[in-house]
Structure formats: C-alpha cells, structure tokens
Amino acid sequence: MTASALRAALTAAPMLLALHATGASAALDAATGKALDAAIAGEHRSAENKARDVYRKPREVLEFVGLRRDMTVVEMSPGAGWYTEILGPVLADQGRLYAAQFALNDVPTYQRRLLGSFLTKLAATPDLYKSTVITHFAPPYALEIAPRGSADLVLTFRNLHNWAAENEAGVSWSNVAFKAMYDALKPGGTLGIVDHRWPDPKTENPADRNGYISEERTIRLAEAAGFRFAARSEVLRNPKDTHDHPRGVWTLPPSLALGEQDRDRYLAIGESDRYLLTFTKPTE
C-alpha cells in the first residue's frame, strides 16, 4: 500500500466506524415480528397504554435492539410493566424474560405498591407471562437480576437518569446497575438503553433532578463498566421538547406534573425527547 493510500484508509476509518455506530440492527425475523405485532395489539394492553405507542414506538425500538423470541432477556426496573406487556408474550413460548423489579423490603411504600400491581398484572393473564421470572434490582442488597452470563439482551427504559442521580446519602447507583447488567449478559450480548435526552453535555449538571441525561454521559458510564458502544437510533427523538420545563420531564405527558396549568401546551409537545443506544459485552 502506498503512503497516500494508507493515509486515505486511516482517514476513512473513523467515518466507517461512525457509520457503523449509527446503523440499525438486523430486521426482525418473521416469527418474532408476528409475535411482536400480536403482543402490541393484544387485548391485555389497556387503551391508555396503547395510546403511548406513538411516542414509545415499541416495534421500532425492539427491532433496533435485535430482539428474537427465543432470547433470554432482562428488563431492568420495569415499573408498572408497560414494556413487560409486550416482552412477556413475545418470549412466552421460546424465550425467557427476567423482570428485575423492586424488592419486597424496599423502604419507599410506592415501590411496594408498584411491585404489587405488577404481580397482579402478570397473574391476570398467566399464559402470556409463563416464561417471565421475577427477580429484583434493589441496591445495595438485591443485585442478581438474572443468572450470571445467561442473558442475550438486557433492556432498561428511562431508568438511568434515576440511577445516576445521587440519593440522600450522596450515593449514585449507576455503577452498581451497570455491573449488574454486565454480569447478567453473555459475552457478545447486547445492552439497550432508552432515556430522556439532555441535548448538550456541556450544559449538563449531574446534580439536576430534571429526569434528563446526555448520550455522552451514558456512553461514558457504560464504557467505564466494560461495555462497548455499538449503535444509536433517532427513532425516539422529539424536536418539540425544549428540555427546560418547570418540573423536568414530568412536566410532559403522561405525568403532566403541573396539572391543568399549560396542559394543552405540554400535550402538544408530547412525551420527552429520548435517545436509544445499544452496547455490547466484549467476547474477550
């Protein structure tokens, strides 16, 4: 190779890597796509939850992260189970879903109530969740979200901003969360993260409790835990979100923290601007 050709190759390499990092994952296989469509349209999902599909785009998100119906998947801190309603049925026949929920001995009472309502949801249609296993992520005590090295895919939806925020004792649980997710994944497995996007890392204040977190900060945290950045998607970008609301992301729907104040304005914005990133656990 001539010197000029070598220089051209070295110049092109970063651009090729950037293209790879922003590229989409492989398309859904036919069986997974059929199961996913059935779950999204299923009667077990409330009209209220289905109304959020326009913002959360579950089919596009799960296609991007590479979901297959025969996978072992971990859903971190699923809350009320919006995504569990989709993942559980898709994985029911050939896969497994570990739902890493709050623990029974969590101190905040709302967490216990949420866990109770989540268990009630699963019990109402047990056939849809026959391959769903409840585990717990409740640092610093309950950290085994799935058997070590068992998961093909770990997913977390709008949790990282909470883990990265310091609690009353000045402790952030983000490092603990990333280690738990890393330990659960098989080598070569995928981590998918969705969260509320802070648009400019230069103006990001980690002490703010506005619900937003930048992609750049997310990547730093993941890479510090050993993950390798793989890809990003813009499918959840919302250019109407100005990121400067009085009560952070909770000002926007579905929370509408200001009640009737400027309600129509925030409904017109819709749910928050969000990022979708994937990472891989190295095979070496």
Q: What is the pLDDT of residues 203-225, one digit of tens each?
A: 998 888 999 999 999 999 999 99
Determine the pLDDT at residue 171.
73
Q: Which residues face 76 on adjacent strands? A: 100, 156
Q: Is the pLDDT of residue 280 over 60?
A: yes
Is the whole-model pTM more than 0.75?
yes
Give first-to-last CA distance, the chain, whole Å: 30
Identify the residue with better confidence: 123 or 114.
123
At 235, is the secondary structure helix, strand, or coil? Answer: coil
Mean pLDDT of the chain, nearest integer: 90
Q: Which of 89, 101, 113 is nearest to 142 (CA)?
A: 101
pLDDT band at residue 10 using 50, 70 and 90 as cut-offs: very low
Report the C-alpha gap between 62 and 206 in whole angstroms. Answer: 29
Q: Which positions ≥6 away from 219 have C-beta within 8 Å?
A: 229, 277
For the record, the structure tokens of 43 come out as 């009667």
- As a whole-number percent, the residues of the chain with pLDDT over 70 amount to 88
- Give the three-state DSSP class for 110: helix
2-16, 161-175, 252-266: which has the highest mean pLDDT? 252-266
pLDDT at 234: 98
- DSSP 8-state symbol, 138: B
pLDDT score at 11: 37
Mean pLDDT, residues 20-44:
83
**What pLDDT sits at residue 15?**
34
CA atoms within 13 A on the CB side of 214: 12
Instruction: Convert 73-95 into a string of H (helix), E (strand) and C (coil).
Output: EEEECCCCCCCHHHHHHHHCCCC
Which of the two residues, 68 and 167, has the higher pLDDT score? Answer: 68
Is it true that the peptide bond before 254 is cis, omega within 30 degrees of 0?
Answer: yes
Q: Which residue has the higher pLDDT, 121 or 20?
A: 121
194-203 average pLDDT score: 97
Please tell me the predicted confidence (pLDDT) of residue 5: 42
Which pLDDT does position 213 carry in this prediction? Answer: 97
Q: Does the CA dihedral 240-243-246-248 come out positive or negative?
A: positive
Give the model confidence (pLDDT) of 132-169 as tens digits.
999 999 988 889 999 999 999 999 999 999 999 876 66
- Distance CA(96)–CA(73), nearest Å, equals 6
Contact 273, 251 (CB under 8 A): no
Q: Residue 44: is its pLDDT beyond 90?
A: yes
Mean pLDDT on 193-208:
94
- Rounded mean pLDDT of 100-107? 80
Residue with tokens 């077990």: 44
The predicted pLDDT at position 4 comes to: 41
pLDDT-derived band at 14 (thresholds 50, 70, 90) equals very low
Identify the band that residue 105 occupies on the pLDDT scale cut at 50, 70 and 90: confident
Distance CA 97, CA 133 (A): 6
Token pair of 234 as six digits: 């813009």
